[in-house]
Homo-oligomer: A and B are copies of this chain.
Amino acid sequence: MAQAKLSVNTLRRLPQYLNYLHSLPGGTPHVSATQIAEAVGLNDVQVRKDLAAVSQGGRPRTGYETGLLVRDIEALLRLGGPVRFAIVGMGRLGSALAQYGGFSQYDLHLAAAFDTDPALAGWEIGGVVVRPADEMATHCQKNGIRVGVLTVPPAAAQTACDALAGAGVETIWNFAPAHLSIPAGVRVENMNMAASLGILSRHLQQRLDDTDEREGSSA
């Protein structure tokens, strides 16, 4: 297909298109980029560009074949085969994620769960047995786990991050609202729930008050 390289922005829009396509009634044979754009609230040219990077292309007048489009977007988002990931920190958030059913659509498979609390070890959550943190290295290596989800309390985050790095994990999705010093060879993406909700809630993109302070001094 010799796709142009996909921007992260495009990649983030594709799942939205996919959700919309899945929401269409049973045997809808075709969709137009215009239709998708309106449904998800984006520019139609942008949708067309995004789809051009993924699909075989549509037909003037008719649009894209729904089934093929779904297949192509899913194929792209699952590219490279199944991914096995571990969750570190089986508190409420970690447990909720472990039991979240949505990962399989993207060919993501929870393959291990760890917690430092001995009381949790041995329990099965989300289809995996919770293991003590000190088994991380052996277990991750044995099971080919290269992605870690970090759902420990902030104070434990750096230790857990280092442990994951030591276990050979390449990519970490960090939910702990804490600064991590990032070990070499590891990519960390921070997901800060509170900050995200805050930025979303307040309409901060608008600039602030315009009180002139050209003269420098106050009071």
Contacts and interface: CB of A to CB of B under 8 A. Distances in A.
Interface stretch (A59-67, A93-101, A133-141): A93-101
Contacts of A100: 92-93, 193-194
Nearest to A41: B182
A81 to B, nearest CB: 9
A6 B197 contact: no
Name A's interface SS. Answer: mixed
A195 B41 contact: no
A28 interface: no
Interface string A129-153: 0000000000000000011010000
B108 A198 contact: yes
Contacts of A123: none
A172 B20 CA distance: 18
15 contacts: A1-B209, A5-B205, A6-B207, A8-B199, A19-B177, A19-B192, A23-B179, A77-B204, A79-B204, A93-B100, A102-B193, A106-B198, A147-B197, A173-B196, A189-B200
A22 interface: yes
A163 to B, nearest CB: 18
B212 A103 contact: no
Given A77-B198, A92-B95, A207 B4 contact: yes
Interface in A42-74: none
Nearest to A77: B198
A28 B39 CA distance: 50
Interface string A1-40: 1111111100110111001101100000000000000011
Contacts of A78: 198
Contact of A83 (B22, B77, B187, B202): B202
